[in-house]
Amino acid sequence: MRELEGALISLLAMSTLNKAEITFDIARSVVDRLVSKPHKEITVDQIQQKVCDFYGLKPDALQSKTRKREIVQARQVAMYFSKNLTNSSLSAIGAVIGRRDHATVLHACKTVKNLKETNTEFKHQLKEIEGLIRQ
């Protein structure tokens, strides 16, 4: 209710300052800005799936013990986004992504961050993956 009152006060103030009539479009824009919209919760599993989709891997690949470069990098990217986009602990992320420990997740995050800062192509890939995750 307070959000609605705030929206009405803002609407009246904007109308007075601009010496303009209150239209439906103006009212909608003020209400949209003030009323919080629910956001969807991002999970570690969703992140794993999107990363696998991007790299063309099966989700089982991230769970495996393999050290193939392309799989390791995808696993590290999934850990990086899981740390940054969820409230999950490092231990919880590691448990979900291949039964790794928190130190492995921390190492993965540092590795991805360093690569992001030194490789522009990789940085663009991360932006694209993040876009897929946030859809």
- Is the pLDDT at 2 greater than 80? The verdict is no
Distance of CA 116 to the CA centre of its chain: 16
Structure confidence at residue 1 (pLDDT): 55
Q: How many C-beta neighbours within 10 Å does residue 130 have?
A: 17
**pLDDT digit string, tens, across residues 109-135:** 999 999 999 999 999 999 999 999 998
Give the predicted TM-score (pTM) of the model.
0.73
Q: At what angle do helices 69-85 and 44-55 cross, to 10 degrees?
A: 140
Element (H, E) at 9: helix 2-18
Q: How confident is the model at residue 29 (pLDDT cuts 50, 70, 90)?
A: confident
- Is the pLDDT at 8 greater than 90? The verdict is no
Q: What are phi and psi of 110, to 5 degrees?
A: -65, -40
**pLDDT digit string, tens, across residues 45-82:** 999 999 999 999 999 999 999 999 999 999 999 999 99
The mean of the pLDDT values for the chain is 88
Query: 57-64: which pairs have CB atoms within 8 A and are 24 or more residues apart?
Result: 62/97, 62/98, 63/97, 63/98, 63/99, 64/98
Average pLDDT, integer, range 89-108: 96
